[in-house]
Amino acid sequence: MTTSMIPRREERHLLPFSSVMLKAELYTPNFCHEGYLWDVSASGACLCFSDNDDEASNIQDKDFLHIRFLSPEMEQAITSPCRVAWLNSMHGARFVGVELTEAMDLSKTFFHNLLNPKFLKQLNPI
């Protein structure tokens, strides 16, 4: 994997929190950090943690970790090695951007339905 400051070039999918909140977990050698998925793409993701999570403050830029995305029904999970690409804190939340070591095909995962506008409309008709 090459280290780069170039942003993800593929489409990023912001998850509509009014419809669904997906749990995501970052595993460090000594701890599992539980947060929520903010956005996802084939090669990376942004996770949101509470700023009150003191353990999350131990996550460092360039750390190699494992990420696990949990489906809304908690029946499926996607696990992947990743590298912390950036960190940011604002408005009481800590955001962690990760770069997956191997790109994933979102259309072959539970994300396929979650990113489909017709499916989201069924969850939250407006």
The hierarchical CATH code for the domain 22-123 is 2.40.10.220
Q: Could you read off the pLDDT of 109-124 as tens digits, one per residue?
A: 888 777 766 654 555 5
Cβ neighbours of residue 10 closer than 8 Å, sequence gap 6 or more: 41, 42, 43
Mean pLDDT of the chain: 79
Which pair of structure tokens corresponds to residue 89? 């804190």
Confidence of residue 99 (pLDDT cuts 50, 70, 90): very high
- Of residues 91 and 11, the one with the higher pLDDT is 91
- For residue 121, the model assigns a pLDDT of 54
Q: Which of 88, 106, 95, 85 is nearest to 5 (CA)?
A: 85
Residue with the two structure tokens 């499916």: 119
Provide, rounded to the nearest whole percent, the portion of the chain with pLDDT above 90.
Answer: 31
Q: Could you read off the pLDDT of 11-66 as tens digits, one per residue?
A: 665 555 445 678 999 998 888 989 999 988 889 999 998 877 666 677 888 889 99
Which pair of structure tokens corresponds to residue 113? 């339905």
Cβ neighbours of residue 24 closer than 8 Å, sequence gap 6 or more: 34, 35, 36, 37, 45, 47, 67, 68, 69, 70
